[in-house]
Structure 1
Amino acid sequence: MSKSSETKLEELQDLEPSLEEFRASVIEGLSASRKTLPCKFLYDRRGSQIFDDICDLPEYYPTRTERQILEQHARDIAALIGPELRLVEFGSGAGMKIRLLLQALEKPSAYLPVDISREHLIAANADLAQTFPDLCIAPVCADYTAPFSLPDLPGISYKATAGFFPGSTIGNFTREEAVSFLAGARGLLGSGSVMIVGADLVKNIDVLRDAYDDAAGVTASFNLNLLRRINRELGGSFELAQFRHEARWNADLERIEMHLVSQRRQEVTVGGQRFSFAAGETIHTESSHKYRLASFRALAAEAGYEPIEVWMDEKQLFSVHALRAL
């Protein structure tokens, strides 16, 4: 992607995980006694498109609820993080929520969206650049759970740096992983930086199950697409019809788990290696932890942040936290 003469869209910094990394992660996960696959690999081009569809489902409350919170409080957030800002978004996706914040910010200096899906990132930010032609946009294709560096932006000055991590993606991490991610973001953004994080809250179990196993089967398609990707990119032999999507509530860990359940006894090959499945055996593909305000604040404190504000919807389904790096 070359820099446009009409916008300030910088060239893509491409740190997308390699095919070899994908293969190694899949083989490691399928070799475990309890089979798993990293949820970050759900988001190829097709997976990202399906997830955008999930966000519009009537059962999937997190996206619309967080958007309502941002619509109501974007100016409060903008006032808190200040003008002439370098804003880094982790897991930018379709870039819908960031528009609300960018519109509220006073003279933002630069926007650096980070996402693992290269094609989705390019398309979303080309569109965003047309809406904000005076804003420097510097996309970074990277796995934000691993160390990476931000691109230099010669000629761009800023007074402060802030991070934006919406969508309750923090819930995909274990508690230890969430602390590690936030600590890494603190190191990347610097002391005194503000981090805005969306966190889903513990609620009625039926509401949660419906959100992750919708009547139209869109979430099932999203989950099964990971097997389709393995077949396409790694020469896998998964028969998708022999696996079904299942959403489970883990009460001990207060999380929804997404699984792919083997419908029969079968064998599958990936990367030249053979894996056996018993009937009913699952591949755990994603977790979505739900938080209580006190537990999330304790987690943030452990990562080196001071909780400074929280905004919620009227039904207290979802929360958006402002944290300051110590």
Structure 2
Amino acid sequence: MTFSITRHLPEDATADALCTDVRSGLTANPKTLPPKWFYDAHGSDLFEQITRLPNYYATRAEEEVLAGRAGDIAEATGARTLIELGSGSSTKTRHLLGALSGLHTYIPVDVSESALRESGGTLAHEQPGLTIYAQIADFTNRLILPPTPGPRLVALLGSTIGNLLPAERLAFYASVRTLLQPGDALLLGVDLVKDADVLVAAYADPAVTGAFNKNVLSVVNRELGADFDLDAFEHVAAWDAGHEWIEMRLRSRTAQTVKIPALDMVVDFAAGEDLRTEISAKFRLPDLASELRAAGMDLSRWFTTPAQQVGLALATPAHSGIPSAPECGLF
């Protein structure tokens, strides 16, 4: 059994990043905070509760695809190394780990050391023949990975790609492309464009999702000594038809002033002013293929549910690797 953790983030990287994001986001117009700050321990627990809400289809639908098509993904890639970006608890990844019969190495990448230790330790006992090199890193930055046997499969699941703005997505694809050799592949979980009422309902729950949204304010209060009054903000989910993404916002119920002592900042909110905390882009297959092509990758396989709620895109370096046959991946 081989299980190790390598840190590629300085010990104070999280604190520095939070300061930078709060300062830049709350002085922008409109005001924003990145969704990564939802996920302290409490926020992660709230998100797990969200995945069980009746209207929140995305997690269940993606797991349905993974459970049903992991064998096809394994056959198509023949991966000996699986690299999972934003691995978290590695729960859904077990479908791939079980299907990849020739797998030698698993590399979970996450900013949370505690999540990596817990999930990596569990997997190390469950699969004693698997080599696990956990990486404490931010996958939106350039990754430094150990030499491992190919072919390699890089996975970003959970529709996480939708949280990136278009320019950020292109930068991410370009970064991943530098990691891929002929025969390697990227497995990308995406949420698909559908009826706006269905999309808004998935994010509009005022209790659990509302608490999850407001948790970003709790994090800023705790870490930076801010005095956000959570009750002074309303959870809002809105569909932006022009960009084809959901926006989660916190709307100020009244005119108010928030102090952030650690940054020597005072932030004014007008009554009804929105603070954007997340975008969640939804995709159409031709547009996704175009984005990947711009980064030098071909969409080689496409797996989805019968209801076509979400999908898994398998992309390979252009003109190499797995032959393109998207239609073969349909449920």
Please confirm whether the aligned pair reaches a TM-score higher than 0.5, indicating the same fold.
yes
In the alignment, structure 1 residue 47 sits paired with structure 2 residue 43: yes
In the alignment, structure 1 residue 146 sits paired with structure 2 residue 127: no
Q: Which residue of the other structure, out of 283, 291, 307, is the alignment partner of 1:299?
A: 291
In the alignment, structure 1 residue 281 sits paired with structure 2 residue 273: yes
Instruction: Determine if contact 1:10/1:139 at 8 Å carries over to the other structure.
Output: yes
Task: State the match for 2:314 in structure 1.
Answer: 322
Deviation at 1:277, TM superposition (A): 0.3
The one-letter amino acid paired with 1:161 is R
In the alignment, structure 1 residue 179 sits paired with structure 2 residue 170: yes
Task: State the match for 2:208 in structure 1.
Answer: 218
Secondary structure class of the residue paired with 1:211: helix
Per-residue deviation, residues 7-63 of structure 1 (Å, max 9, x unmatched): 322124252633122111111100012100112222222222222222222211111
Name the CA shift for 1:128/1:244 in 2 (closer, same or farther; >3 Å). Answer: farther
Report 1:7-18 matches (<5 A): 7-15=1-9, 17-18=13-14
Name the CA shift for 1:234/1:189 in 2 (closer, same or farther; >3 Å). Answer: farther
Name the CA shift for 1:218/1:71 in 2 (closer, same or farther; >3 Å). Answer: same
Task: State the match for 1:201 in structure 2.
Answer: 192
TM-score by length of 1: 0.92
Q: Which residue of the other structure, out of 24, 29, 44, is the alignment partner of 1:28?
A: 24
Task: State the match for 1:86 in structure 2.
Answer: 81
The one-letter amino acid paired with 1:320 is L
Deviates more, 1:274-283 or 1:129-138: 129-138
The one-letter amino acid paired with 2:189 is G
Q: CA RMSD in A?
A: 1.5
CA–CA separation in structure 1 for the residues paired with 2:37 and 2:9: 14
The one-letter amino acid paired with 1:298 is S
Instruction: Determine if contact 2:188/2:312 at 8 Å carries over to the other structure.
Output: yes
CA–CA separation in structure 1 for the residues paired with 2:150 and 2:26: 47
In the alignment, structure 1 residue 115 sits paired with structure 2 residue 110: yes
Secondary structure class of the residue paired with 1:286: strand
CA–CA separation in structure 2 for the residues paired with 1:244 and 1:117: 29
Name the CA shift for 1:92/1:237 in 2 (closer, same or farther; >3 Å). Answer: same
Secondary structure class of the residue paired with 2:313: strand
Q: Which residue of the other structure, out of 254, 259, 273, is the alignment partner of 1:264?
A: 254
Secondary structure class of the residue paired with 1:264: coil
Instruction: Determine if contact 2:78/2:102 at 8 Å carries over to the other structure.
Output: no
Task: State the match for 1:3 in structure 2.
Answer: none
**Contiguous gaps of at least 5 residues in structure 1:** 1-6
Deviation at 1:288, TM superposition (A): 0.4
The one-letter amino acid paired with 1:35 is K
Deviation at 1:121, TM superposition (A): 2.6
Instruction: Determine if contact 1:246/1:259 at 8 Å carries over to the other structure.
Output: yes
- Identical pairs, percent: 38
Deviation at 1:301, TM superposition (A): 0.7
CA–CA separation in structure 2 for the residues paired with 1:125 and 1:224: 30
Name the CA shift for 1:126/1:53 in 2 (closer, same or farther; >3 Å). Answer: farther
Instruction: Determine if contact 2:150/2:184 at 8 Å carries over to the other structure.
Output: no
CA–CA separation in structure 2 for the residues paired with 1:269 and 1:258: 23
Instruction: Determine if contact 2:77/2:183 at 8 Å carries over to the other structure.
Output: no
Question: Where in structure 1 do 4 or more consecutive aligned residues deviate above 4 Å?
Answer: none
The one-letter amino acid paired with 1:77 is I
Task: State the match for 1:60 in structure 2.
Answer: 56
Q: Which residue of the other structure, out of 33, 39, 47, is the alignment partner of 1:37?
A: 33
Secondary structure class of the residue paired with 1:167: coil
Q: Which residue of the other structure, out of 131, 146, 158, is the alignment partner of 2:149?
A: 158
Q: Which residue of the other structure, out of 220, 225, 231, is the alignment partner of 1:230?
A: 220
Q: Which residue of the other structure, out of 231, 235, 241, is the alignment partner of 1:251?
A: 241
Task: State the match for 1:72 in structure 2.
Answer: 68
Instruction: Determine if contact 2:137/2:143 at 8 Å carries over to the other structure.
Output: yes
CA–CA separation in structure 2 for the residues paired with 1:121 and 1:231: 26
CA–CA separation in structure 1 for the residues paired with 2:198 and 2:188: 22
**Contiguous gaps of at least 5 residues in structure 2:** 319-331
Secondary structure class of the residue paired with 1:163: strand
Per-residue deviation, residues 162-192 of structure 1 (Å, max 9, x unmatched): 1011111111112221111111011134454
Number of aligned residue pairs: 314
Instruction: Determine if contact 1:40/1:116 at 8 Å carries over to the other structure.
Output: no
Per-residue deviation, residues 128-169 of structure 1 (Å, max 9, x unmatched): 22222211111112221122312x36xxx5131110111111
TM-score by length of 2: 0.91
Task: State the match for 1:4 in structure 2.
Answer: none
Instruction: Determine if contact 2:82/2:152 at 8 Å carries over to the other structure.
Output: yes
Deviates more, 1:10-19 or 1:233-242: 10-19
Secondary structure class of the residue paired with 1:89: strand
Deviates more, 1:74-83 or 1:114-123: 114-123
